[in-house]
A and B are shown apart, each in its own frame.
Chain A
Amino acid sequence: MTPLTRRILLSAPFLAVAAGGVGFYTALHRQRTGQYNPRGVPSALIGQAPPDFVLPALENSGVASFGAADLRGLPGPVIVNFWASWCVPCIIEHPQLMRLSRDGIAVFGIAYKDKPEDSLRFIRQHGNPFRRLAKDERGRVAIDWGVYGVPETYLLDRQGLIRWRFAGAITPEVLREDLRPLLLRHA
């Protein structure tokens, strides 16, 4: 055994532990900022067009509904957000959606398994970030999208293909580190 092999073999365990430590630290840090969800599941629809759907509007919300056809041929990327008035993380992410909306980003909303009057009360109380707002009272369209909880947010590029899916609240960190760069890339 040459001295070099010996040195490599001796340092291997230390390097492995160090690499593991860096990995754990990153995972924990990203978990704390909401960027990493250990129970998260990758979307099966990445790179695909969203499923065909037509949904009714939320009455008296002041904005029109939308369907799959409305997600094609837009001048920029569009964010589709599944939410509900009964969902607590939806309150946490709401300011970030408002900020995106103020910045002129197209944010479309789908109220998931929610009573229309409750959805309406939510956007009256917290503000309406949605350019278009549909309601999916049975939650069947959400299943076609692969939604497994609210909030869930999808980013569609200009061709109308799904590029990103995030399950959980869009925290300020997620907005800054993940969503903003993606919006720039697909602008």
Chain B
Amino acid sequence: MRIFVALRRRAAASAALASRHGPRAAFAASAHCAARLLLLLLVVLAPLPALAVSSPADMLPDAALEDRARALGKELGCMVCQNQSIEDSEVGLARDLRLIVRERIAAGDSNVQVKSFLQARYGDFVLLRPPFAWSTAILWMTPVVALLFGLSLILAARRRMSAPAAAPLSAEEQARIAELDNQATLKSQDGTRA
């Protein structure tokens, strides 16, 4: 926080320098400012990769198994903070579940076995990608149903637009139109003459 305040002050100072001592002094000051900003970004962003939630003590010594555990954990939901995986959550229960995943993997369980172990306790909610079942049918089918509904609306609208043209006029009707036309022309001629 203090660094930000200092940076802002420095930027204000460089603007002041530009007005009083010309652009050169301002440039030097702002270069310094940019260097500081870069340093700040480095300091802030550098620890990000290390922020992965698992503490080293919790990881499996075998890198391949640890990778498997991590990939599997990404598919398992944290029950407390729903929609976050147990690998991304810092909640105590998520850590417990991470440890259980690693224990089961180290004990030789397959991915499917680990998943069904947790599913037996927490139900489908623990799986971030829910399985297809009758209870999840609505969830999976909604996009398809919505798409079909939209398509049927479009088709119905199209059919209405391209409805067959009205039957051609009969000779009698055409004669009547010609007669009306004639009368109209005569009337307008009357009008212009008057």
| Residues of chain B within 8 A of A113, CB atoms compared | 92
A41 at the interface (CB under 8 A from B): yes
Bound: A43/B100 CA distance, A: 19
A-B contacts, CB under 8 A, total: 38
| Residues of chain A within 8 A of B181, CB atoms compared | none
Interface positions, chain B 75-128, Cβ under 8 Å from A, are 79-80, 82, 92-93, 96-97, 100, 119-123, 125
Contact, CB under 8 Å: B119 / A44: yes
Contact, CB under 8 Å: A39 / B92: no
Secondary structure of the A contact surface, majority rule: loop
Interface residues in B, total, Cβ within 8 A: 14
Binds B, one of A2-10, A61-69, A137-145, A172-180: A137-145
Contact, CB under 8 Å: A41 / B79: yes
| Residues of chain B within 8 A of A148, CB atoms compared | 79-80, 93, 122
A127 at the interface (CB under 8 A from B): no
Bound: A139/B82 CA distance, A: 20
Enumerate chain B interface residues (CB-CB to A < 8 A).
Answer: 79-80, 82, 92-93, 96-97, 100, 119-123, 125
Q: A44-B119, A139-B92, A143-B93 are in contact. List 4 more A-B contacts (CB 8 A).
A: A44-B121, A143-B96, A146-B123, A148-B93
